[in-house]
Amino acid sequence: MRQTLTTHTIKLTTLSPLHIGAGDEHILSPYCDYVQRGDSLIYIDTKKLQAAMQGDKGFVEAFVKGMRQFENNRSTFSLDHFITKILGQKIDDFTARVVKIEGDCKKAHIRRFIFTAGKPFIPGSSLKGAIRTAVLVDWLLKNKKGEEELSKIRAAVNNHDKKKAKEALEQMNPEQSCYGSIDCDVFRHLRISDSELIDVSHLMVGGMKRVALPSEKKKKQQQSKIPQWSEVIEKSVETEFSLSMTTPFDKTGFDFLDHQSVTKLFPIVNTIFRKSCKRELVKLNGIQFFSYFTGFYHDLIDCIDELKPNEAILRLGGGKTWFDNSIGLSIDSNEFGTVKLFERYLDLLLGIETSSFPATRSAIIKNNLPVYPLGWVKLTLLKN
């Protein structure tokens, strides 16, 4: 049998702010990389800045001395002051780009969005990982072999010997049972490219915080005191990527792979991410502090219910919960068992003793309120 490759073009539209980090080595510093002016961040061309100081020992010494000045454990150095007063030049002379910011970052470090050639993009690995997880959860809940695997997990959780139960769970590998071992993983027949580069005008910087849900012990919402300022792609931004499928030599057990069909794949993704939306809505509903979130999830569920077979909703990047990254939605389900059984699973594998896990949500904060959950996108199959 000859193996063929079918490639589809997919449009991606952001439905909420999206952050996919470039890594710890790509952090913008207020001491050499940017200056804030109102609701804008001016990114500094560091090569031009270095060139302006080169050959003048006084400028270099002033820069180094300023970087070493601290008061109450905070640096008093101002890049704006150094450029305009010490170098005697304009900020515009060193401007690499201007990015919008919501709020005052107070000279915080800023996490960059993953980029290449200076422009952000959506990694194909992030897209494939989200789709792969959704297919796995669907397989556990609906496929006969998946149900058998879920029964094994349930049996292990039910074992009264906690040590043996934990050992049994740790030895299980539902992902391998679903897709096969690494050397013959059927998901190798699905390939997803990185997206097209996104114009930097669609970047903004927002303050991301972890916001705790109220509990019996803590009746009020609490936020992490220091936000993680991060570059995010704004909502309603569009880009495209390629999704390709190769003809498998043998049946994989997945119709969308066997028939190289996106319209058979997307309904699976929608079913699972609808479960994620529904869970979030149930957990956050009635909490006034999260009123923006609940409104968003009501609208998103309505959107999913109206999708065509060539459309899908999924979640990417920073801000996802454990349920978006694991088989959690199959464990926290009627098919698996009771709430107590789910709590025991969490306790055995994660050392968590409550079904209200996760107890926090990541959000873009505006006026001290969480206004958007992060990472929701829509996929649309385009005609090739």
SS (H, E, C) 141-162: HHCHHHHHHHHHHHHHHHCCCH
Report whether 355 contacts 283 (CB < 8 A). Answer: no
Instruction: Return the pLDDT at 210.
Output: 86
Q: Which tokens belong to 193? A: 């490219």
User: Residue 307 and residue 278: Cα distance in Å, rounded?
Assistant: 16
Q: 3-state secondary structure string, 156-192? A: HHHCCCHHHHHHHHHHCCHHHHHHCCHHHCHHHHEEE
How many Cβ atoms are within 10 Å of 258's Cβ, its own excluded?
17
User: Residue 289 and residue 291: Cα distance in Å, rounded?
Assistant: 6
Instruction: Return the pLDDT at 226.
Output: 76
Instruction: Return the pLDDT at 217.
Output: 60
C-alpha 172, offset from chain centre:
26
User: Residue 43 and residue 94: Cα distance in Å, rounded?
Assistant: 8
Lookup result for tokens 């096969």: 180
C-alpha 93, offset from chain centre:
35
Instruction: Return the pLDDT at 67.
Output: 81
The CA-atom distances, in angstroms, between 38 and each of 35, 69, 246 are 10, 25, 51
**Among 157, 120, 172, 127, residue whose Cα is nearest residue 273:** 127
Could you tell me what percentage of the chain is helix, strand and coil, using 3-state DSSP and rounding each to the nearest 5? 40, 25, 35
User: Residue 322 and residue 171: Cα distance in Å, rounded?
Assistant: 20
- 264: helix, strand or coil: helix
Instruction: Return the pLDDT at 384.
Output: 59
Residue 355 neighbours by CB under 8 Å, 6+ apart: 332, 339, 342, 343, 346
Q: Is cis: bond before 227, omega within 30 of 0?
A: no
User: Residue 85 and residue 82: Cα distance in Å, rounded?
Assistant: 6
Report whether 377 contacts 314 (CB < 8 A). Answer: yes
Instruction: Find the distance separating the first CA and the last CA of the chain, reported in whole Å.
Output: 25
Instruction: Return the pLDDT at 221.
Output: 54
The secondary structure of 282-333 as a DSSP string is HHHTT-GGGHHHHHHHHHHHHHHHT--TTEEEEE-STT--GGGSSSHHHHSS
Q: Using the CB atoms, write b or e for 138-172: b if 16+ within 10 Å.
A: bbbbebeebeebbeebeebbebeeeeebbebbeee
Tens place of pLDDT per residue across the chain (384 aa): 567 889 999 999 999 999 999 998 999 999 999 999 999 999 999 999 999 998 888 999 999 888 887 666 677 889 999 999 999 999 999 999 999 998 899 889 999 999 999 999 999 999 999 999 999 999 999 999 999 999 999 999 999 999 999 999 999 999 999 999 988 899 999 999 999 999 999 999 999 988 888 765 655 555 556 789 999 999 999 999 999 999 888 888 999 999 999 999 999 999 999 999 999 999 888 888 888 899 999 999 999 999 999 999 999 999 899 999 999 999 999 889 998 999 999 999 888 877 678 888 888 888 888 888 999 999 999 975
